Structure 1
Amino acid sequence: MTCETYIDPSPANFQAFKNLPRDRPIQMLNLLLYRDLAEYPAGHEHSGKGWSGRRAYAEYGATSGPIFKRVGGTILWRGAFQTMVTGPDGECWHDGFIAQYPDAGAFFAMIKDPDYRQAVVNRTAALVDSRLVRFAPGEAGEGFG
Structure 2
Amino acid sequence: MTGYIDPERAQFDAFKALNRDQPIQMLNLVAFNDRAAYPSDHALADTGLTGAQAYANYGAETAPILARVGGSIVWRARFETTLIGPTDEVWDAMFIARYPTAHAFLAMVSDPAYQKAVVHRQAAVRTSRLIRSEGLTPLESFA
Class of the TM-score when normalised by the shorter of the 2 chains: over 0.9
Give the stretch that moved more between structures: 134-143 or 16-25: 134-143
Normalised by the length of structure 2, the TM-score is: 0.96
One-letter amino acid of the counterpart of residue 4, structure 1: T
1:40 corresponds to which of 30, 38, 41: 38
One-letter amino acid of the counterpart of residue 121, structure 2: R
User: Is the counterpart of residue 69 in structure 1 residue 61 in structure 2?
Assistant: no
1: CA distance, partners of 2:35 / 2:88: 21
Normalised by the length of structure 1, the TM-score is: 0.94
- Return the offset for 1:105: 0.2
Give the stretch that moved more between structures: 4-13 or 121-130: 4-13
How many residues end up aligned between the 2 structures? 143
1: CA distance, partners of 2:116 / 2:139: 40
User: Is the counterpart of residue 93 in structure 1 residue 94 in structure 2?
Assistant: no
Query: Following superposition of structure 1 onto structure 2, how do residues 5-20 of structure 1 map, counting pairs within 5 Å?
Result: 5-20=3-18
1: CA distance, partners of 2:111 / 2:132: 20
One-letter amino acid of the counterpart of residue 35, structure 2: L
- Fraction of identical pairs, as percent: 50
One-letter amino acid of the counterpart of residue 36, structure 1: D
2: CA distance, partners of 1:34 / 1:90: 14
Q: CA RMSD in A?
A: 1.1
- Stretches of 4+ moved more than 6 A in 1? none
Give the stretch that moved more between structures: 22-31 or 86-95: 86-95
2: CA distance, partners of 1:91 / 1:126: 16
2: CA distance, partners of 1:105 / 1:24: 9
User: Is the counterpart of residue 4 in structure 1 residue 2 in structure 2?
Assistant: yes
